Amino acid sequence: MTDTEAGGLAYKWIALSNTTLGVLMASMNQTIVMISLPMVFRGLHVNPLGGGQTGLLLWVLMGYTAATTVLLVTVGRISDSFGRVRFYNLGFVIFTLGSLLSAITPGVGAAGEVELIVFRVVQGVGGAFLFANSAAILTDAFPPTQRGLALGVNQIAAIGGSVLGLVLGGALASVNWRFVFLVSTPVGLAGTIWAYLKLRELGVRTARRLDTWGNLTFGIGLTALMIGLTSVLMPYRTAPMGWGDPTIQGTLALGVALLLVFIWIESRVEDPMFELRLFRIRPFWAGNLSGFLASLSRGGLQFMLIIWLQGIWLPLHGVPFSETPLLAGIDTLPMMAGFVIAGPISGVLSDRYGARTFSTVGMLLSGLGFLLLTTLPADFSFPVFAGYLVLMGVGMGLFSAPNAASIMSAVPAEHRGVASGMRATFQNAGTMMSMATFFTIAISGLSTHLPPALRSGLSHAGLPLPLAVGISHLPPVAALFSALLGYNPLGSLIGPKILGALPAAVRTHLLAPHFFAQLIANPFGESLHTVFYISLGLSIVAALASLMRGRHFVEDLHGASAQRPSNEATSVPAVETTD
């Protein structure tokens, strides 16, 4: 597609800037609540560590991502038939409405939490429309020789937005928690008007029948899976996590069963929602496999780093727990810096030399970053830590843009919407599975090592042994959420009455930020190293999957010859293979 066919030289840059704004806003809202949760719950007059609050806390945090993940493929498939720009614009409208509703949440207490969860889900629906169509709109607007650059900038917005959300959430919530959601409203309104006036349909539209059973089985199955993976993070009876809960087991089993039925349906219907035949294209399946593995390796990384910074490193340096959320967000910025540096460069170079080398090297660098993180002690040197984050950011940047361009350039024009939705679904599903896996490992390790550390540390600090023994049975999930929320749990666990009876020096020592951080540092550090080693292995497998995408373009889906050297451009979607 030439610039003329795409609507002129200026149009492609309009499409890039508008879709980048949409993706930045949608990505930012995936993490903006993570840092601002203490102020959000304080504004709702809720104690997030109180009884029965864990489930609601999780859904305030993760409901947005779950709703987005469930709808991505369906939205992409419908957009292919009725217009990608039309549904992208609708996404801006829905997202803006959800942001406004979240900002004006009227209720307080549990009612306010439920209202906020519902409004966050509305945001997630809008986010699905934006994510599902942005890459397809760019692929329609840009010629093959510039798609890597365009999608690289778009990917920077996606990753950068998630990091920016951490900082912006803490900064805005320190003024008023409602600003966390209100900030997206004027941006969304401006983006809606801009998209309506300037974007236009360039993609190939194909009228198809609605795949009713496919939509139902996929939507219900993936919803059940998302609910199960979120709910499993909650304790069950005496167990630290919910894997043994029959309800959660049934929910996960239902989700898997319905997704298997969905695959069976899609292989038999005339107009499937999920284009299984796209998996015959090597760069499509290899790119999605490596993208899924990459998300699985790093999807829970931000949570683990935030807990590490908020619960251990910053308190060890005397920072009060109430001040750690914003500082932790700022301390993760080196990762975004690395991504911003590498993303556009790898996009431009992959347009000329192909995706395989850059995406493969990117995953290997990410793996090296995980390996280096295992060498850090709990009280690390920040410049060294920042350097490792920059390295990981560079690796992510090298991988993301070429991988996205390879996937989107390989599919026929009429399937770009559903291909974009499928790509985003694999990434989001990998992120959700990564979070469940990382938390399971962390909580399992804490269940073994935290009780004796608490018992020994509290008794040596002067707390009566029976009380120290009782506190040592603190549920590990409570310790993690305390760190995530910026709370020192010892104050509420010991209680004001007992604290008042203790000598002033003992009381001051127990409530000092570094004390609890020292107790949890080694137990959490051992689990964290296990997580990093698993992520290292997944990164290597993702690099191998990336290698399998092939180097040469041989023929497109319609059988047209398009063979070319790896450093030449092609104007048709193509199937790549190895030499």
Does the pLDDT of residue 71 top 80, yes or no? yes
Q: Specify the range with the lowest mean pLDDT, choosing from 172-181, 413-422, 458-467, 570-579.
A: 570-579
| CA angle 550–554–560, rounded 5-degree value | 150
CB 481 within 8 A of CB 57: yes
pLDDT level of residue 6 (50, 70, 90 thresholds): very low
Does the pLDDT of residue 383 top 90, yes or no? yes
Q: Is residue 426 part of a domain?
A: yes
The rounded percent of the chain whose pLDDT value lies above 90 is 23
pLDDT at 425: 84
**Same domain, residue pair 282 and 396:** yes
User: Alpha helices of 1-105 — where are they, by DSSP H?
Assistant: 9-43, 54-82, 84-103
Q: Is residue 4 part of a domain?
A: no
Could you tell me if residue 354 is left (phi over 0), alpha (psi between -120 and 50 degrees) or otherwise beta? left
Site of tokens 């996009």: 347
Question: Between these two residues, 234 and 404, which has the higher pLDDT value?
Answer: 404
Q: In the beta sheet, which residues pair with residue 555?
A: 561, 575
Task: Write down which residue in 520, 548, 564 finishes a domain.
Answer: 520
**Same domain, residue pair 40 and 82:** yes
Question: Between these two residues, 258 and 55, which has the higher pLDDT value?
Answer: 258
Q: Specify the range with the lowest mean pLDDT, choosing from 81-95, 400-414, 563-577.
A: 563-577
**Same domain, residue pair 357 and 439:** yes
What is the Cα–Cα distance from 467 to 394, expressed in whole angstroms?
48
Q: Specify the range with the lowest mean pLDDT, choosing from 112-126, 218-232, 384-398.
A: 218-232
Question: Between these two residues, 449 and 118, which has the higher pLDDT value?
Answer: 118
**Same domain, residue pair 493 and 354:** no
**Same domain, residue pair 111 and 190:** yes
CB 10 within 8 A of CB 199: no
What is the Cα–Cα distance from 354 to 148, expressed in whole angstroms?
9
pLDDT at 344: 81
**Same domain, residue pair 279 and 382:** yes
Reduce the secondary structure of 92-142 to three states and give it as a string. HHHHHHHHHHHHCCCCCHHHHHHHHHHHHHHHHHHHHHHHHHHHHHHHHHC
Q: Give pLDDT tens digits for 16-27.
A: 999 999 989 988
Does the pLDDT of residue 377 top 80, yes or no? yes
**Same domain, residue pair 362 and 397:** yes
Q: Is residue 65 part of a domain?
A: yes
The rounded percent of the chain whose pLDDT value lies above 70 is 90
- Residue type at 461 in one-letter notation: A
Domain that holds residue 481: 447-520
Q: Specify the range with the lowest mean pLDDT, choosing from 71-80, 182-191, 213-222, 482-491.
A: 482-491
What is the Cα–Cα distance from 496 to 145, expressed in whole angstroms?
66
pLDDT at 206: 67
pLDDT at 189: 92
**Same domain, residue pair 370 and 265:** no
What is the Cα–Cα distance from 354 to 397, expressed in whole angstroms?
15
What is the Cα–Cα distance from 194 to 96, expressed in whole angstroms?
14
- Residue type at 350 in one-letter notation: S
Number of domains in the chain: 3
Does the pLDDT of residue 443 top 60, yes or no? yes
Q: Is residue 410 part of a domain?
A: yes
Does the pLDDT of residue 559 top 60, yes or no? no
Q: How confident is the prediction for the chain on average, in pLDDT?
A: 82
Q: Is residue 2 part of a domain?
A: no
User: Alpha helices of 44-53 — where are they, by DSSP H?
Assistant: none
Q: Give pLDDT tens digits for 262-293.
A: 989 988 888 787 778 888 888 999 999 999 99
Task: Write down which residue in 270, 288, 303 finishes a domain.
Answer: 270
pLDDT at 50: 66
pLDDT at 551: 63
Helix (H, G, I), strand (E, B) or coil at 200: coil
Task: Write down which residue in 270, 295, 320 finishes a domain.
Answer: 270
Question: Between these two residues, 125 and 555, which has the higher pLDDT value?
Answer: 125
pLDDT at 159: 77
Q: Is residue 1 part of a domain?
A: no
The residue count of the chain comes to: 579
Mean local confidence (pLDDT), 457-471: 83
Q: Per-residue b/e over 293-330, b at no fewer than 16 CB within 10 Å?
A: bbbbbbbbbbbbbbbbbbbbbbbbeebebebbbbbbbe
**Same domain, residue pair 563 and 422:** yes
| CA angle 55–58–62, rounded 5-degree value | 140
pLDDT at 205: 66
Mean local confidence (pLDDT), 337-342: 86
**Same domain, residue pair 537 and 496:** no
**Same domain, residue pair 262 and 169:** no
- What single DSSP character describes residue 311? I
What is the Cα–Cα distance from 542 to 400, expressed in whole angstroms?
12
Q: Give pLDDT tens digits for 511-520.
A: 888 888 888 8
Q: Per-residue b/e over 335-355, b at no fewer than 16 CB within 10 Å?
A: bbbbbbbbbbbbbbbbbebbb
pLDDT level of residue 575 (50, 70, 90 thresholds): very low
Q: Is residue 551 part of a domain?
A: yes
**Same domain, residue pair 117 and 188:** yes
CATH code of residue 127? 1.20.1250.20
What is the Cα–Cα distance from 427 to 506, expressed in whole angstroms?
49
pLDDT at 102: 94
pLDDT level of residue 11 (50, 70, 90 thresholds): confident
Site of tokens 């020096």: 505
Q: In the beta sheet, which residues pair with residue 575?
A: 555
pLDDT at 447: 81
**Bridge-based pairing state of the strands 575-577 and 552-555:** antiparallel
pLDDT at 552: 44
Q: Is residue 377 part of a domain?
A: yes
CB 299 within 8 A of CB 541: no
